Amino acid sequence: MIYTDTRDKSVKTDFRTAVINGMNKDTGGLYIPVSFPKLNPSFINKTPEPCFRDIAFEMAKPFVENEIPDNDLMAIINDAYPFSAPIVPVDKTSYVLELFHGPTCAFKDFGARFMARVMSYFNRNESTPLHILVATSGDTGSAVGSAFYKVPGLDVTILYPEGKISPLQEKQLSTFDGNVRALKVKGTFDDCQKLVKTAFTDETLREKLRLSSANSINISRLLPQSFYYMHSSLVVRNRSWADNKIENPDIIAVVPSGNFGNLTSGLIAKEMGAPIKGLVAATNSNKTIPDWIASGNYETRPSVTTYANAMDVGAPSNYERISAFYSLEQVRKMFAAYWLDNDGIVDAISSCYDKTGYTIDPHGAIAWKAWYDIKTSAMESLVAGQKNDIEKPGLVSNIPEWADSIVNKKAVGIILETAHPAKFGSTVQKATGNAPLIPDRLEKVMNLPDKAVPMENDYNKFKEWLLANLA
């Protein structure tokens, strides 16, 4: 596969370069494949559907062609995914896709674990480790730390703002040993990011250490997230008749979104032949994308803090990819858009629990409520001519091309549940009255000793520490 760049289509590069560089320094653009490969229909139409790992292998193959041989790719996938993504029906036409069965209990495990193994593979003939520096405001750091832990040839340093992340998040970052360590910086997330950025541009440091990032914009985190869209849409297509007597339903993927990496992965799966008719962009009060779909104007803004804090993003980085692939008109045909404020999030968790018995986290709750509203009446009202005020939470006034199948009850929804509810226990308890059960792997982490190293918000001290401890 040849990769190009969102800002300059004359750029041509390979997978390895795209993965190691993360983004194109020369243009500031993001790497994208020049085209979308299609899976063979005989593979997609198998009954029963192929298993998750077989799908992962078939989907990854064209993207790494001539760079990672089949046997090595298979080994990477088997090692990355000892878990998969169960599909849980919560009513006849709603399926929750549980993406939290990885080690850190959030969907970022799917992308980060693939990226770590691919980087290790590309580093295999080097005599020195590749040093990953990552600044985190919470969840990314734990997914990256866990994904790279004990992966040969790689070494990870995580920077986080001391006292500004939740106690559970801190435990998930700071209890590693060996090749992964955390620095608790006396400063903000922006300070952490600045220390990392300064290090990347420091030539004297780079002479001593080979540095790379594990940023969420990396193409090797995006591609593997398409695997679970393909798998779940095939599972749902094959079981739908038995569940709801809808023949050939239109399948709608409902995606709680922040940087829109997950949703972009859904678009890749759709292009590769997944039976997905449309997508719902579901956000919290950081509604830059819903506003864009409603008004046609894309305006970034500072982020605001919400209960669904992994989606507190005012300038979603993957807008750049979505708008490189599609026109606004095409986006409006494919997407519905929906947003909720904090009161709406709490209400959504509690009504999901009341109506279905399912305990959902604050991020997934927005998606559940979006689908519930869309399929019960909100889309029908739009089709009948109602206009919704974009300043009020709910469905945005945009009628996608699949609106009729909603009105005619020919659609089913896949709701992406991006985190385990126990990661956001206090919000969930406030909504349902019950504290969610804590999975063993989270409980264990909570009892491990904290090994984070204190760090001043001072570049020279940070550099000294890196040279003394890593070089």
Ligand X SMILES: *Cc1c(COP(=O)(O)O)cnc(C)c1O
Give me the residues that bind ligand X (CB under 6 A), please: 106, 108, 139, 256-262, 310-311, 363, 418-419
Nearer to ligand X, 310 or 428 (CB): 310
Nearer to ligand X, 6 or 259 (CB): 259
Q: How far apart are CA 468 and CA 70, in angstroms?
A: 40
Q: Closest separation between CB of residue 437 and ligand X, Å? A: 18
Distances (CA, A) of 311 to 99, 130, 404, 409: 16, 29, 30, 30
Q: How far apart are CA 404 and CA 418, in angstroms?
A: 28
Q: Where are the beta strands (DSSP E) in 152-256?
A: 154-161, 180-185, 210-213, 250-256
Q: Closest separation between CB of residue 408 and ligand X, Å? A: 30
Q: Closest separation between CB of residue 2 and ligand X, Å? A: 25
Q: Closest separation between CB of residue 104 and ligand X, Å? A: 9
Residues 6+ apart with CB under 8 A from 88: 95, 96, 97, 98, 358
Q: How far apart are CA 415 and CA 87, in angstroms?
A: 9
Q: Which residues, in sequence order, are bridge partners of residue 114?
A: none
Distances (CA, A) of 205 to 22, 108, 399, 467: 19, 30, 53, 8
Q: How far apart are CA 348 and CA 365, in angstroms?
A: 6
Q: How far apart are CA 183 and CA 227, in angstroms?
A: 33
Q: How far apart are CA 130 and CA 120, in angstroms?
A: 8
Give 21: exposed, middle or buried? Use CB within 10 Å, 0-12, 13-18, 19+: middle
Q: At what angle do helices 362-373 and 342-356 cross, to 10 degrees?
A: 70
Strand order in the sheet with 154-161: 210-213, 130-135, 154-161, 180-185, 453-455
Q: What are phi and psi of 130, to 5 degrees?
A: -95, 125
Nearer to ligand X, 179 or 418 (CB): 418
DSSP 43: H
Nearer to ligand X, 249 or 362 (CB): 362
Distances (CA, A) of 158 to 135, 173, 176, 233, 464: 6, 8, 11, 35, 16
Q: Closest separation between CB of residue 91 and ligand X, Å? A: 22
Q: Closest separation between CB of residue 53 and ligand X, Å? A: 22
Pairing assessment for the beta strands 278-283 and 335-339 based on DSSP bridges: parallel
Q: Closest separation between CB of residue 419 and ligand X, Å? A: 3
Q: Closest separation between CB of residue 37 and ligand X, Å? A: 22
Is there a contact between 20 and 115 (Cβ–Cβ < 8 Å)? Answer: no
- Residue by residue, DSSP assigns 20-87 as HHSB-TTT--BEEESS-----HHHHT-SSPPPHHHHHHHHHGGGSTTTS-HHHHHHHHHHH-SS---E
Helix (H) / strand (E) element for 295: namely helix 288-295
Residue type, 205: L
Residues in the chain: 471
Q: Closest separation between CB of residue 58 and ligand X, Å? A: 23
Helix (H) / strand (E) element for 418: namely none
Q: Closest separation between CB of residue 257 and ligand X, Å? A: 4
Q: Closest separation between CB of residue 109 and ligand X, Å? A: 10
Q: Closest separation between CB of residue 289 and ligand X, Å? A: 9
Residue type, 175: T
Q: Which residues, in sequence order, are bridge partners of residue 94?
A: 91, 413
Nearer to ligand X, 104 or 240 (CB): 104
